[in-house]
Amino acid sequence: MLGRFSLGLLFCFLICAQAPAQDAAYQDHLASNTRKLVTNLRPLLRPTLQAFEASILDDIDFRIVPDLIYQGLARRIGGKRVVIIYSGIPFMMEVLSNSMFVGLQGKRECYERHLKSSLETFVYNSDPNHQANKRPVFHPAAYANFELSCAGAEQIFANMDARQRQVVADFIQTSIAAVILHEIAHHVLGHVDNPPGPGMSPAALERSRQDEDAADRWAIRKLLEMKMSLLPTIPYLLMTAALTDYTLEAERASTHPLGARRALGLLDNIAVEVNKIDPDSPVVGQVKDFRKVLNNITSPQN
Ligand SMILES: [Zn+2]
């Protein structure tokens, strides 16, 4: 439950996710909702920050770009602190969250197959060599046209009640929030001003991996301090698992830890952080379960 962090039903589900991803109005819709998310996240984040961190947050210019690129970036541009989120990020979160919902409704095979197919398509589309020839990504309901195990998924979405819509909205919003926090972390932790260097030396690679891990840990800790549930960050973890080596931060993509390993590491960090705060939290068990799913869908032999 997000509780204090509800933005209403800002993201749409069945209809929007079936709209062509390249549709300009749809890109604008994704970008505009992500802007609202940044606005609503700020006052929740601020009280958890030390004074110097808060002043860094105030300096950041958030640029939400309606373009279907699967990227978030933290940079200094012209001396100014900038975080750039492309609308490919909320698009991925919508698709993956809808997939999670199908799984929560008991259609396990459809869920795993749709997740795997969507993630593979995101990776394919992220490859710089495939920019002119991107593949379509399908909503789970539309995926039923190709995948027998997804038969009936359309009814599941057509019959969603308000609570179920909120569950999916929580997945989408919390996962986008995790990306935003990860990029803020690069500013707060000094990575933007002290980059590991452009070289691909083993030392620079190692520094970069450490920076990514530190930014992930910071983001997770902030979500916990804002009293947000970590379970809805699963789409973020999936995206991390699939795309880290491609595009999350394109210039340093190849220096990120191997995607699946980074996502599994993130899950372990979540378990550690949650355990510090509440050892009896159901999240500890949920993380263990999800670790198994993540292993299944990211292992190459599947
Ligand atoms: Zn990063």
DSSP state of 71: -
Q: What's the 240 CA to ligand 1 centre distance in angstroms?
A: 10
- Order of strands across the sheet that contains 72-77: 61-65, 80-86, 72-77
Whether the CB-CB separation of 143 and 119 falls below 8 Å is answered with no
| pLDDT tens, per residue, the chain with 302 residues | 333 344 333 444 444 444 555 678 888 888 999 999 999 999 999 999 999 999 999 999 999 999 888 889 999 999 999 999 999 899 989 998 998 888 888 888 888 888 888 888 888 888 778 888 888 888 888 888 888 999 998 899 999 988 888 888 988 999 999 999 999 999 999 999 987 766 667 777 778 778 888 898 899 889 888 988 777 888 888 777 676 554 334 434 444 445 656 666 777 777 676 677 667 766 667 667 666 666 665 554 43
In the structure encoding, which two tokens stand for residue 3, read together?
């509780």
| Cα 213 to averaged position of ligand 1 atoms, centre (Å) | 8
Q: What are phi and psi of 86, to 5 degrees?
A: -85, 155
Orientation angle between helical segments 259-277 and 202-225, nearest 10 degrees: 40
**β 80-86/61-65 pair status:** parallel
Q: In angstroms, rounded to a whole number, what is the distance separating the alpha carbons of residues 141 and 194?
A: 45
Distance 216 CA to ligand 1 centre (A): 8
Q: Which residues, 6 or more positions from 287, have their beta carbon under 8 angstroms from its beta carbon?
A: 230, 267, 270, 271, 274
| Spatial distance between the Cα atoms of 168 and 225, rounded to a whole number of angstroms | 22
Phi, psi of 151 (to 5 degrees): -60, 135
Q: Half-sphere exposure of residue 260, counting CA atoms within 13 Å on the CB side? A: 14
Centre of ligand 1 to C-alpha 257, Å, is 10
- The secondary structure element, H or E, covering residue 61 is strand 61-65
- Find the 27 Cα to ligand 1 centroid distance in Å: 23
Distance from the CA of 183 to the center of ligand 1, in angstroms?
6
| Helix/strand/coil for 135 | coil
pTM over 0.85: no
